[in-house]
Amino acid sequence: MPFSDYIPTINTVRNVLDISLVFIIVYVVLKLLRGTRAVPTVVGMVILALLYWFSVAQDLATLEFVLRSAVLYIGVAIIVLFQSEIRQALIYFGNRLRFPVLRRQRGQLGETIYDEIVLAATTFSSEKIGALIVVERNVGLRNFIDAGVSLDAKLSYDLLVTIFNPSTPLHDGAVIIQGERIAAASVFLPLTKNPSISRDLGTRHRAAIGITEGTDAVSVVVSEETGLITFVESGQVKRNLDTTTLRSLLLNAMEIPVVEKRREQTKTMKEAETEIIPG
């Protein structure tokens, strides 16, 4: 069979692949934009596009000229208006395409390291001490770390409690966690500009949201007024958490499997041992 007979098949497969990739990209972008401040802007751009099509179809020369001139600035406007969303999209694709080696390295830290954060947050909540803890994931936070007080100390409950003690000079600001170490304290973070954020959230919560909008980091916040624990990931806020829920959210965000079955088995064995009383 001549080679030319395979050309239609190859083109068909290529077209299907082309359409599939475009569909996936559009789907992911729409999923990222859903529920954000970018949605009304996108709707406005679609309306302008339809208006331009109408001006061409109806031969409205003046309107067509104005809209055509505006097209030259749309590229710059998209970058300015959607810089946060574009950054989130790039982070999303980067996280999905990162090498499996990087995923295993994160999981090697285990659960105990992050239990220190959960225990500290519980203490802050009971004593109504304000705290903001940011945990780095794949996107580096070096520019924020350099702006704070460098510590590079092993992560521990005692150190976190000491840092956020209201009588210490480092309590104001955020703590940034890198791996199993506290990289810096007294770090000031950019505040979110999302107008839909509740006015009940103060500066500490807005900073926690802002850092997760610009990076893939996650934040744990304890309110100084109410003692409520909040977890923030990708700008999404989960408030009024208990210890178990916070631990689950934190471990899931860091992609560390929770070995509940092993714990239950260990607990059952200990209970069985205590019931055996030598006669």
What is the DSSP track for 197-226?
S-TT--HHHHHHHHHHHHSS-EEEEE-TTT
Of 45-49, 174-178, 189-193, 253-257, which has the strongest mean pLDDT?
174-178
Q: How confident is the model at residue 39, as a pLDDT?
A: 63
Q: Where are the alpha helices (DSSP H) in the chain?
A: 7-33, 38-57, 61-71, 74-81, 83-97, 100-107, 112-127, 142-147, 157-163, 203-214, 243-253, 260-275
Least confident residue range of 149-158, 164-173, 175-184, 255-264: 255-264
Are both 64 and 146 inside the same structural domain?
no
Question: Is 173 a residue whose pLDDT tops 80?
Answer: yes
Are both 11 and 76 inside the same structural domain?
yes
Residues 247 and 227: beta-carbon distance below 8 Å: no
The stretch 16-38 carries a mean pLDDT of 70
The stretch 182-206 carries a mean pLDDT of 86
Question: Is 108 a residue whose pLDDT tops 70?
Answer: no
Are both 91 and 124 inside the same structural domain?
no
- Residue 203 domain-assigned? yes
Question: Which CATH number do you get for residue 220?
Answer: 3.40.1700.10
Residues 208 and 236: beta-carbon distance below 8 Å: no
Task: Give the phi and the psi of residue 186 in degrees, each rounded to 5.
Answer: 55, 45
- Residue 273 domain-assigned? no
Burial class (CB in 10 A: 0-12, 13-18, 19+), 187: buried
Residues 227-260 have pLDDT tens digits of 999 999 988 899 999 989 999 998 888 876 555 4
Q: How confident is the model at residue 101, as a pLDDT?
A: 46
- The percentage of residues in the chain with a pLDDT greater than 90, rounded to a whole number, is 26
Are both 198 and 214 inside the same structural domain?
yes
- Residue 267 domain-assigned? no
The stretch 120-138 carries a mean pLDDT of 92
Residues 227 and 126: beta-carbon distance below 8 Å: yes
Q: How confident is the model at residue 162, as a pLDDT?
A: 94
- The percentage of residues in the chain with a pLDDT greater than 70, rounded to a whole number, is 69
- C-alpha to C-alpha distance for 176 and 148, rounded to whole angstroms: 9
Per DSSP, 192 falls in state: P
| pTM of structure | 0.61
Question: Is 10 a residue whose pLDDT tops 70?
Answer: no
pLDDT bin (cut points 50, 70, 90) of residue 132 is: very high
Q: How confident is the model at residue 83, as a pLDDT?
A: 65
User: What value, to the nearest 5°, has the Cα angle with vertex 228 and ends 227 and 230?
Assistant: 135
The stretch 62-83 carries a mean pLDDT of 73
pLDDT bin (cut points 50, 70, 90) of residue 279 is: very low
Q: How confident is the model at residue 163, as a pLDDT?
A: 94
Count CA within 13 A, CB hemisphere, residue 231.
19
* Among candidate residues 56, 80, 97, the one where a domain is terminated: 97
Question: Is 174 a residue whose pLDDT tops 60?
Answer: yes
Side chain identity, residue 47? I
- Residue 201 domain-assigned? yes
Are both 153 and 55 inside the same structural domain?
no
* Mean pLDDT, the chain, integer: 76
Are both 50 and 134 inside the same structural domain?
no
The stretch 67-83 carries a mean pLDDT of 71
Residues 86 and 76: beta-carbon distance below 8 Å: no
Torsion of CA 134, 140, 145, 146, to 10 degrees: -170
Q: How confident is the model at residue 186, as a pLDDT?
A: 92
Q: How many domains does the chain have?
A: 2
Identify the domain containing residue 250 by its residue range: 102-255
